[in-house]
Amino acid sequence: MGDAVKGPSRIIGELLARPDQLTLEMGAGGELLVARVRAIGCAIALLLPLLALLTGSSVTEVMIGLVAAVVVNVVAQVWLYLARNARRHRWLPHATSTWDVTATSLVLVALAFHDPVAGIGSLVVWCFYVIAIVFTALRHNGRLTLYIGALAILQYALVVWAVFALTPDAMLVSIDYGTASMGGQVQRLVLLLIVTLVTAMIVYRMQRLVEMSGRDGLTGLPNRAWLLQSMPRILEATRTGGTSLTLALLDLDGFRRINDEAGHQGGDRAIRQVAAQIEQMLEENEHLARIGGQEFVLLLASPIGSAWERLDRMRRELAERPFLPGRGADPQRLTFSAGLAGWPQDGASTSELLRAADQRLQQAKQAGRNRVVARDG
């Protein structure tokens, strides 16, 4: 279904859904990019107090800007250090984005203590709300964008309310910023809402593109791109959790014959049937990916012996279940050959495991197909 057909409630629901692993992996890279840009931007921000002094701003405002610039530079270096291993710190995008918004609000509050109108009139400082919201697009996380947008609107609304509630009307006039009006502040809040919605739509489109790049169009399964992106995380989780992992490389036997006899549509139905049947055998934290025309990769949370038993049982069940290509066509018998590789004895990396599994898959084919091989012959 196209994006234009989806209603707002469905789009919001997808934005609020938990990002998949491929999106999280890309978001971790985005967090590092944001941290680097933040560090550079904060370094440039050290020039703002000097420019303010040269343009006639009060010494108090200049000192507030200087102290704020020094603090945000120190914190930016801390965020940059943590972002170098963002995959380990899943909380980092929320923490850094919350800091960006809150730091902006604190600077506005500090300005308001000196000059109430400056607290709600400084366009330069207010723009950092917009920057914080736009930066969330690089994290590929719709939840984060909506949260930060709402946080910026709420915090700025509280600053505006405090200034108007605690300041006499006679003091809502400034030589530098003019007369403060509630209408102007409402316009700023509306602008923050618009920026949030536009950024959320950008994130939504990016998520759909990531989903399309990491999913097989025929079966909906993860594809090779997803596998290569996700394997480092899966291997690390296996290592730290002390669990087992077996990689199985599976290839349908005689698939060209099925295509010739049943046509491409029949071949597509055969692929979907095999994928659906194998998915039923998967347990929690196990994955099935389609990496080629009739090739699949299974990631099983089992020792290689147990994985062999499970997959061989699936092989027999698949062979016993006839495949009906279509009306008037003869039933087809679907079988597969598979090679297994266990972590870490057969390989400690994705390429090593795939290489070992492929060698055993070739042994299965040379031995007559329709079998699962877990050891070198």
> Of 29-43, 317-331, 343-357, where does mean pLDDT reach its minimum?
317-331
Domain map (residue ranges) of the chain:
8-213, 224-373
**Confidence label for 7 from pLDDT (cuts 50, 70 and 90):** low
| Nearest-angstrom CA–CA distance, 115 and 173 | 9
The fold of the 224-373 domain, in CATH, is Alpha-Beta Plaits (3.30.70)
**Range ranked top by mean pLDDT from 53-57, 190-194, 250-254:** 190-194
Specify the pLDDT at position 189.
Answer: 96
Count CA atoms within 13 Å of residue 79 on its CB side.
29
pLDDT, mean over the chain: 85
Residue 97 pLDDT > 80, yes or no? yes
Residue 145 CB contacts under 8 Å (≥ 6 apart), including other chains: 15, 133, 136, 137, 139, 196, 199, 200, 203
Write down the pLDDT at residue 197.
93
pLDDT surpassing 60 at residue 201: yes
Q: Rounded to whole angstroms, how far apart are CA atoms 61 and 50?
A: 11
**Could you tell me what percent of the chain has a pLDDT over 90?**
37
| pTM above threshold 0.85 | no
Cα of first residue to Cα of last residue in the chain, in angstroms, is 49
* Residue from 24, 34, 18 nearest 232 by CA: 24
- Residues 121-150 have a mean pLDDT of 90
Pairing of strands 336-343, 173-174: unpaired
Tokens of 57: 């701003």
Provide the pLDDT for residue 122: 86
Would you list the DSSP string of 30-86?
HHHHHHHHHHHHHHHHTHHHHHHHHTT--HHHHHHHHHHHHHHHHHHHHHHHHHTTT
